[in-house]
Amino acid sequence: MLGSKYTTKAEECEALAETVKTKFNEMYWNEETGRYVACIDTEGVSVDYGLTFLNFEILKYGLADSEKAQLIFDWIDGKRIV
């Protein structure tokens, strides 16, 4: 809508979004439990309370790939016990 001079900015934002998604998953995905952790404490320890609403929001905003989404839904549905 703003013209071609903003195309580069849009491409920069799309690249940044992918970087954020990658870094977010590196920091907050817990391979052992197959869900996202709630936070990382001041000592760098990931804290996983099993917050369903948090995992649902992460899915809503598209931060998880389909494999992670399936693991989360299997946990919510009781197919996996964590």
Say if strands 35-36 and 29-30 run parallel, antiparallel, or are unpaired: antiparallel
pLDDT digits (tens, 9 = 90+) for 13-52: 899 999 999 999 999 999 999 999 999 999 999 999 999 9
List all residues 6 or more positions away from 20 whose beta carbon is below 8 Å from its beta carbon. none
pTM of the model: 0.85
Distance CA 77, CA 71 (A): 10
User: What does pLDDT average to over the chain?
Assistant: 93
